[in-house]
Amino acid sequence: MNYASVIESPVGKITILADEEFVQVVTFAEKDITGLLKNELTVKVVNQLNDYFKGNLKNFDFPMKQKGTEFQQEVWQNLLNIPFGETTSYAKFSSHHPLAIRAIAAANGKNNIAIVVPCHRVIGSNGKLVGYAGGLWRKQWLLQHEREVAQKGQTELKF
């Protein structure tokens, strides 16, 4: 990765890493970006994330590619099909591979493009928030934000 940008957001600092063609990482984790400059692509992601947090953007449209197995790529692609402002359970999300629910959950946890590849929209079958690399408080914030923007159902998640 040759380029980086950082954004301050309502859920903390977010680092974007990219090469010339693709965004490869959008993360809450601290990353050493010493010597990396922004480029047109990382600036586009910053602008889209700012619009997302303002409630003006529901779908991201920049090129992205993260490293992973064919199975992980399939899981990440399926995450993109979960509509903005909605959630699904791990059981429902893995219904096409019911014996692979743990592998799907593990792939979900290895997603390196936070928010954009919406792994935060997958919750426990009992409706509880479970597992989020960015922390459950961020997952709750993101889900509540999306429900408010989409004007779908309750604006606060009840647990």
Phi, psi of 45 (to 5 degrees): -65, -45
Q: Which is catalytic among the residues 104, 119, 123, 142?
A: 119
Cα(first)–Cα(last) distance of the chain, in Å?
39
Helix (H, G, I), strand (E, B) or coil at 26: strand
CB 19 within 8 A of CB 1: yes
Distance CA 3, CA 7 (A): 14
Encoded tokens for 69: 């197995």
Active site residue 119: yes
Enumerate the active-site residues. Answer: 119
